[in-house]
Amino acid sequence: MLKHRFFGVQFFGIMLLSLLSLVVNLQAQTASPTLNDSKLDARVNALLRQMTLEEKVGQLVQYSAGSPTGPGTGRGDYPDMIAKGGIGSLFNLTGAREVNAMQKIAVEKSRLHIPLIFGLDVIHGYRTTFPVPLGMSATWNPALVEKAARVAAVEASSEGVRWTFSPMVDIARDARWGRIVEGNGEDTYLGQAMARAYVRGYQGASLQDPSSILACVKHYVAYGAAEGGRDYNTVDISDRSLRQAYLPPFKAAVDSGAATVMSAFDDLQGVPSTANPYTLTQILRGEWGFRGFVVSDWNSVGELIPQGVALDPAMATRKALTAGVDMDMESNSYATTLLQQVKSGQVPQSVVDEAVRRILRVKFAMGLFEHPYSDEAKSPITTLDPEHVAATRAVAEESFVLLKNDAASGAPVLPLSSTVKTIALVGPLADDAANMLGSWSTKGDAKDVITFRKALSDRLEQSQGKLLYAKGTDILSTSDTGFAEAVSAARQADVVIAALGEDAGLMTGEAASRAHLDLPGNQQQLLQALAATGKPVLLIVFSGRPLILNWEAAHIPAILEAWFPGIQAGPALVRTLFGDVNPSGRLTTTFPRAVGQEPLYYNAMNTGRPAGDVDLTRPPNGAGEKYRSRYIDEQSSPLFPFGYGLSYTKFQYSSPSLSAQSLTAASLNSGSSILTVSGEVKNTGSRGGSEVVQLYIRQIGTSVTRPVRELKGFQKISLAPGESKKVEFKLGKDELAFWNIDMKNVVEPAKVTVWIGPNSTEGSAAQFTIN
Ligand code: BGC
């Protein structure tokens, strides 16, 4: 009896729990509408029907309410405009209290109570600053990048920011372009993986989660292909290259649910990206089914005038809006000219309605009408969360790329022995907190940075070692007055560490293209003076792009590329140098030998007259050697290739084995067949380490030329000393299709070479045929 009663209670309890979880699940489902949810459309349309034309135009207008990131409008009457329903979004405003104050005007004073979205460039962390995005990409670890984006979302949202203008997924093949630092480098496949990771991290499981922020994938599109690497410059690439190389990371972000897209500054194939119906409407909405909204870049609507496709703000508005730019960031053109143009019939009302719909859909999807305010108890962020700090250190450690590690006096320079007695630390970036934050460290605080000097001196204190520090020179200095002190420190040391590189603010990021890619100022001369002491020298390079390091690579035994590593720069570097962690970063951009090689990228086409590296000390030996695709005064190969990076241990690769020798194009195109490529990787050294196993292909016999190599898979694996692991990759339609001669994305009959290897120039090959 008792037993039954107990069973009855238990049964009832279980039923109740299941019922509850059903309710919770149902709630979660209804509470987390995606942009595709048709229920949202009903709410959007109901609201739209109540709106005046003025209020509709207001939703399409965005202003910067804080420190500018471009030329401003001089406007500041935002409270008044908001109360009249004249603004849809503000950006560059942070702090829950500050944001709530503006939101209150929108929600309480405007006629229809439509909340604002607050945006900000949260590019690599909010307060907890992570390595710059190019550094993050060098981790080849999307899961880690997703975590970094989540940390950024949690911090930004707690300060009222629910929209970030990130990720930047522009493919960048030219190291001169300053904005190469903001993206994931030159490769499309890796760029897609990183794009997905950022979107997942920012937007979380549901847009309605108060800690989720909207992603804004930018700069749409091909902005990174600026001629000569000069920022904002013309882009004239083929449609095939656009679709093959530049568009896929945007599509990956959109497929992962990115709620917004930013149109770019560039002029693409003669049509500015901010007035381009082909990319903004035909491809983005038509082909990809994007249901979020497009915001312009800063004043890019206004810039249609100097670009020459608009005579005045009214024409700029017409062109941008009808092409598919829903929200005007900061140009003031929509706000001042759109109303009149709709009234006069120059802009159809339906175009305005559709743009408003897209913006309202996002506002509903993120639950802004239900929860317009931020929790003021969490803001401002006064202390750093230890878990967030640990996350940024982990990312920094995986971002470092060991470029060279030769023996100096018998053993490789790195890792440093724990008993090293005296280290001379030299260079303008050794103790520079501000630069460690990198460009776009919007809310990063130099006070949070632990510099390399500080971390190294703490470490040496523990081991009774001695640190001799001398700055030597400034980043851009031409004076050598500090050299003598630096050289004297070097003479007294067992090891010399030179911390050299770029100024993050001046030389990297937006409007920071460089025509010269050497170490700036007289830093190379300082390095030469240090090397002349005969002491083993380790060079740490802090940069937002590949630099030209020919002399350095020829004369300095150890080089570590550290990018701009964020607030944990010092601890991450020290742990790496002393071997607590083993470097596992790999280059995501090619390092050139000369500026004249740019744009230089690994997945280029072969020519009819390819040349390997040639002997430049003598004239070509006959016509066969002369008439080659080469420079007469420099090699064609890079100094360090894409995918490259060393470890403190060694990895050995088996030849790849394939699940089939031939497949048919038809079965690959229909998705009914897939090829498995596998290989063994062994750690043959005496330390544990992580390897980025990379899979490349080349297709020949196709209707259009295909790159000499293309990344189509990668896995980061860790291996204990002596351990082997089997690594498996799948090649199916996604990997093997390309934009063919008929501009169809299909798999074609081809002979395919497959490599599994440690970078884009090594690895052993296998072949298969597609019939
Ligand atoms: C940049 C964008 C940025 C925007 C807002 C522009 O100058 O190109 O990347 O998101 O400013 O700050």
Give per-residue pLDDT as tens, 87-107: 999 999 999 999 999 999 999
Residue 76 · residue 65 · CB < 8 Å: no
pLDDT at 70: 66
CA distance 236 to 223: 10
713 vs 193: CA distance, rounded Å: 10
Q: 76 or 393: which carries more pLDDT confidence? A: 393
Local confidence band at 33 (pLDDT 50, 70, 90 cut-offs): confident
Over 50: is that where the pLDDT of 27 sits? no
- Position with higher pLDDT, 39 vs 415: 415
Give the residue from 127, 139, 264 showing the smallest Cα distance to 190.
139
In b/e form, how buried is each residue of 689-698, taking b as 16+ CB within 10 angstroms? bbbbbbbbbb
Higher pLDDT, 323 or 2: 323
Is the CB of residue 186 less than 8 Å from the CB of residue 171?
yes
pLDDT at 194 over 90: yes
User: Using CA atoms, how far apart are residues 477 and 525, in angstroms rounded to an integer?
Assistant: 11
Residue 604 CA, ligand 1 centroid: distance in Å: 30
CA distance 86 to 274: 22
Q: Which of these, 591, 576, 540, lies nearest to 561 by C-alpha position? A: 540
CA-CA distance, 682 to 692, in Å (whole number)?
A: 12
**Statement: residue 495 has pLDDT above 90:** yes
Ligand 1 proximity of 70 Cβ (cutoff 6 Å): yes
For residue range 386-437, list pLDDT tens digits in order: 999 999 999 999 999 999 999 887 889 999 998 899 999 999 999 999 999 9
Q: Two tokens at 137?
A: 């990409």
Report CA 560 to chain centroid distance, whole Å. 21
Ligand 1 close to Cβ of residue 159 (< 6 A): no
- Report the atom number in ligand 1 closest to the C-alpha of 264: 8
> Does residue 165's CB lie within 6 angstroms of at least one atom of ligand 1?
yes
What does the alpha-carbon distance between residue 645 and residue 647 come to, in Å, rounded to a whole number?
7
Nearest residue by C-alpha to atom 2 in ligand 1: 297
pLDDT at 321 over 60: yes
Assign 69 a pLDDT band (cuts: 50, 70, 90).
Answer: low
The answer to whether residue 677 scores a pLDDT higher than 80 is: yes
Alpha-carbon gap, residue 653 to 758, rounded angstroms: 8
Query: Is ligand 1 within 6 A of the CB of residue 182?
Result: no
* Average pLDDT estimate for 542-559: 98
232 close to ligand 1 (CB < 6 Angstrom): no
DSSP 8-state class, residue 447:
G
What integer pLDDT is reported at residue 11 of this predicted model? 45
Report the topology of domain 651-770.
Immunoglobulin-like (2.60.40)
Give yes or no on whether 14-122+161-368 and 651-770 have one common fold.
no
Nearest to 561 by CA among 438, 468, 485, 645: 645
| Cα-to-centroid distance, 474 and ligand 1 (Å) | 29
Residue type, 260: T
Res 313 pLDDT > 70 = yes
Q: Which CATH architecture has domain 391-577?
A: 3-Layer(aba) Sandwich (3.40)
- The residue whose CA has the least distance to atom 8 of ligand 1 is 297
pLDDT for 13 beyond 70: no
Closest atom, ligand 1, to C-alpha of 218: 9
* Distance, CA of 249 to CA of 193 (rounded, Å): 8
Higher pLDDT pick, 689 / 13: 689
Region of poorest pLDDT, from 24-33, 309-318, 479-488 = 24-33
Side chain identity at 762, as an amino acid letter? Answer: E
Residue 9 has pLDDT above 60, yes or no: no
> What's the pLDDT band for 737 if we cut at 50, 70, 90?
very high
- Tens digits of residue pLDDT in 505-520: 999 999 999 999 999 9
Query: Is 297 a catalytic site residue?
Result: yes
Ligand 1 contact, 69 CB (< 6 A)? yes
Q: Is the CB of 561 under 6 A from ligand 1?
A: no
DSSP classification of residue 475:
T
pLDDT of 21 over the 50 cut: no
Average pLDDT, the chain: 95
Residue 462 β-bridge partners: none
Confidence at residue 318, expressed as pLDDT on a 0 to 100 scale: 98
Query: How does residue 73 score in pLDDT terms, banded at 50, 70 and 90?
Result: confident
pLDDT at 322: 98
Quick one: tokens of 380? 């401002």
The domain segmentation of the chain, as residue ranges, is 14-122+161-368, 391-577, 651-770
| Alpha-carbon dihedral angle through residues 289, 327, 269, 628, given to the nearest 10 degrees | -80
Compute the distance from residue 297 Cα to the ligand 1 centre, in Å. 6
- Identify the CATH class of 14-122+161-368: alpha beta
Task: Summarize pLDDT for 560-612 with one digit per residue, the tens.
Answer: 999 999 999 999 999 999 999 999 999 999 999 999 999 999 999 999 999 88
Tally the C-alpha atoms within 13 A of residue 255's C-alpha that lie toward its C-beta. Answer: 14
Q: How far is the CA of 419 from the centre of ligand 1 (A)?
A: 48
pLDDT score recorded for residue 164: 98
- Does the beta carbon of 448 sit less than 6 angstroms from any atom of ligand 1? no
In terms of pLDDT, which residue wins out, 446 or 611? 446
Pocket test for ligand 1, best of 161, 297, 327, 439 (most atoms within 8 A of CB): 297
CA-nearest of 632, 588, 692 to 175 is 588
Probe target for ligand 1 pocket from 298, 331, 440, with the most ligand atoms within 8 Å of CB: 298
